[in-house]
Amino acid sequence: MKHCTTESGRLAEDRALAYLQTQGLVLIKRNFRSRRGEIDLIMRDADTLVFVEVRQRRSRQFGDAAASITAVKRARLWRCAEFFLQRYPSASSCRFDAVCIDGEALTWLRHIFSA
pLDDT(98) > 90 = yes
pLDDT digits 0-9 by tens, 46-62? 999 999 999 987 755 55
Alpha helix (H) residue ranges in the chain: 7-22, 71-87
Q: Would you identify the CATH topology of the domain 7-109?
A: Trna Endonuclease; Chain: A, domain 1 (3.40.1350)
Picking from 53, 49, 51, 52, the residue whose alpha carbon sits closest to that of residue 94 is 49
Picking from 110, 114, 108, the residue whose alpha carbon sits closest to that of residue 20 is 108
Round to whole Å and give the CA distance between 69 and 88.
Answer: 25
Q: What is the mean pLDDT of residues 15-25?
A: 98
What pLDDT, on the 0 to 100 scale, is given for residue 57? 76
Picking from 46, 32, 48, the residue whose alpha carbon sits closest to that of residue 96 is 48
Q: What is the mean pLDDT of residues 84-94?
A: 83
Q: Give 107's pLDDT tier (boundaries 50, 70, 90).
A: very high
Mean pLDDT score of the chain: 86
Q: What is the mean pLDDT of residues 94-106?
A: 92
User: Which DSSP string corresponds to 63-79?
Assistant: B-TGGG--HHHHHHHHH
Give percent of the chain above pLDDT 90.
57
For the whole model, what pTM was predicted? 0.86
What pLDDT, on the 0 to 100 scale, is given for residue 69? 80
